[in-house]
Amino acid sequence: MLEVKNLHASVAGKPILNGLNLAIPAGEVHAVMGPNGSGKSTLTNVLAGKPGYEVTDGEVTFNGQNLLDLEVEDRAHAGLFLAFQYPTEIPGVSNMEFLKAAIDSQRKAQGEPAISAMDFMQQARAIAKRLDLNPEFLKRGVNEGFSGGEKKRNEILQLLMLNPKLAILDETDSGLDIDALQVVSDGVNAFRAPDHSVLLVTHYQRILNYVKPDRVHVLARGQILRSGDASLAQELEARGYGWITDAA
Amino acid sequence: MTTMSADTQTFIEHALARSEQLDQEQPGCRKLREAGRTLLGGGLPEGRFEQWKYTRITPFYDPAFAAAEAAPASAGDKKNLVQWPQQRVDLQLPDAAHNAAPAQNLPDGLTVVSFNEADEQTRPLLDQYLNLGIDPDRHTLNPINMALLADGLLVHVAADTRIDPLLSLTSLAGGLPASCQRLLLVMAPGSRATLLEVADHQLPRNLVVEIHLGRNARLDHTRLQPASEHNVWQLLHCRIDAGAQYHFNGYAMAGTPHRNEIHLQFIGEQAEAYLRGAFMANGRGRLDHQMCIEHQAAHCRSEQQFHGIALDKSELTFNGRIHIHQHAQQTDARLSNKNLLGSDSAKVNTKPELEIYADDVKCAHGATVGQLDAEALFYLQSRGISTEEARRMLLHGFVGSVLPDDDAFGIGDHLNQVLDQWLG
């Protein structure tokens, strides 16, 4: 589904990604772990097309399309979703209005009519309930005054409403208590399907107890230094990153 | 003022002559006009000075205000700019071409009378409150209103009375080349009312709204000012006595130019004022907003939150002055003014101004001018929302965050429609 080859990227002229290779087949969950400053967030932002991140070399193919050629919104239309590490607060725009505009813009791109208000509300309420969010939450400004946990759950709400092909979760587990982690993990597991893939970027092995990864990759110094199965995450938890980064 | 231009001198001469003529035709406001003439006789300022740094004052000395001839009056056209509730009392401001419409079926405790028709019951209110506390040096265009006022409207709410129907205030169009209008709203102690003002100016206008809130009174005041192609100067002057509450929500669109002056005076302790609003300009529109809160009594609270949007080649000016007098201890005053520039050619002048003479107060102020938040734009786009749509949503949101809490009159819908039209 996603193939990243020899990706080089810089921020404000400073190289962060230095020849990163990664392939995520359909239906798989891949975790990317790594120490602070290793380039994890740069990878997610480059994939989502955030301005300010300059790709200097390499290629990214998403379901056969050259992802780097697409505008931010077209990447979303193609089925890519980024759950933000720090979801932005947008006062004055209600969560509901935002979600409906997002769904409608994606439906429009697929040549489908806008979702009916009733279908939308039914879906939104059902998913909010599953994520243990009060439906009143839909009326509030986007992420406005939300707690850290609410913001992350709101990202998962959007993930489940938009139903993309690839979900990129940028440290969605950070700052969550055990209960919220469980709820968020359940949401991610609900998203898992043979035609859905997940790129889960995290600092901690903890979330991987709930969301079982097919592959685990270690990102350091802008490259994937090691890949393995779920047991690699446990080994990292026990030994830290030093034994990999020092060896490289 | 020996340096006054010939045009301004001529304007004053014509205004004085017209004012005396009005004394013959409309004797009701003679005292106010006399006071206005005295002030006008002292001359009018010209050029750029601190209070008129960004807006030229002389276009407001429009000879049309002093003209006596009347054009045919058009009917009071209540445009559907907002959702008018069924339960309401329609108030119309009189001027030289329009009499005050007789207010019908008034609820108990509400008195509505034109200045010219004031009787022995209501005249003492005019004597006591009209033009009370308005500083002629600060509100330099008030003397024009005073001298050229043909008639005004007095609204009185009796003590401890709650007026449930909405007081809806509109201005009639036509009838004159320019018009001076004045509302005096006196809320007796313990009274409560809601006022919706649609200031749709279809001719050059000089408008003064005076509000006196008695002890423990409460007024919820919403003002919508659509764009107009005429010079408009408006003064909102509100005196707030002990324990009273004033809630103001004002939304103005630019004209050529518009100048809004808002002056609040806390004259009794434990009173509160909450002011919120948005100013939007497009094209070459100019909107100058002068805010002044005078804390003259202790333990009062004022909160101001105003958002400005300047598109195209427009220019917004916001001057937010908070003056805390020496004995106004334990004042809590906050002011926030945020502005968005929608183009490289748009301009915003914003200046918070603090004058604090008391030593035990809380005072916070902040002003920002910026572009749309790039992070927010990216967040929306990352969900598949197009750049244009995301921009539109963020502008709606920027205005939406300063709407009235319940937005019962549908102000938000109106402002969003205007913005969409402007954005094309």
Instruction: Indicate if the pLDDT at residue A228 is higher than 80.
Output: yes
| Predicted local confidence at residue B51, as pLDDT | 87
pLDDT digit string (tens) for B257-306? 899 999 999 999 999 999 999 999 999 999 999 999 999 999 999 999 99
| Predicted local confidence at residue B48, as pLDDT | 85
| Predicted local confidence at residue B77, as pLDDT | 52
pLDDT digit string (tens) for A41-67? 999 999 999 999 999 999 999 999 999
Nearest CA to CA, how far is A161 from chain B (Å)?
A: 11
Q: Which residues contact B86 (CB under 8 A, 6 or more apart)?
A: none
Q: Is the peptide bond before B404 cis (omega within 30 degrees of 0)?
A: no
Q: Do the Cβ atoms of B376 and A48 come within 8 Å?
A: no
Q: Do the Cβ atoms of A51 and B381 come within 8 Å?
A: no
| Predicted local confidence at residue B406, as pLDDT | 87
| Predicted local confidence at residue B289, as pLDDT | 95
| Predicted local confidence at residue A208, as pLDDT | 92
Half-sphere exposure of B247 (CA within 13 A, CB side): 15
Angle at A85 between CA A82 and CA A91, to 5 degrees: 90
Architecture of domain A2-89+164-245: 3-Layer(aba) Sandwich (3.40)
Rounded to two decimals, what is the model's pTM? Answer: 0.89
Q: Which residues contact B387 (CB under 8 A, 6 or more apart)?
A: A71, A73, B377, B381
Nearest CA to CA, how far is A51 from chain B (Å)?
A: 8
| Predicted local confidence at residue B160, as pLDDT | 98
Looking at the partner chain, which of B378, B397, B402 has a beta carbon nearest the beta carbon of A51?
Answer: B378
Torsion, CA B139, CA B145, CA B147, CA B148, rounded to 10: 160
Contacts of residue B373 in chain A, CB cutoff 8 Å? 88, 90
Task: Point out the residues of chain B with pLDDT beneath 50.
Answer: 1, 75-76
Number of A–B residue contacts, CB under 8 Å: 86
B404, closest residue in chain A (CA to CA): A92
Q: What is the CA A244 to chain-centroid distance, rounded? A: 25
Contacts of residue A105 in chain B, CB cutoff 8 Å? 383-386, 389
Q: Do the Cβ atoms of A105 and B389 come within 8 Å?
A: yes
| Predicted local confidence at residue B228, as pLDDT | 85
| Predicted local confidence at residue B104, as pLDDT | 75
Contacts of residue A163 in chain B, CB cutoff 8 Å? none
A85, closest residue in chain B (CA to CA): B379
B93 touches B147 (CB < 8 A): no
| Predicted local confidence at residue A37, as pLDDT | 87
- Report chain A's mean pLDDT, rounded to a whole number: 93
| Predicted local confidence at residue A44, as pLDDT | 96
Contacts of residue A158 in chain B, CB cutoff 8 Å? 383
Instruction: Indicate if the pLDDT at residue A150 is higher than 60.
Output: yes
pLDDT digit string (tens) for B351-382? 999 999 999 999 999 999 999 999 999 999 99
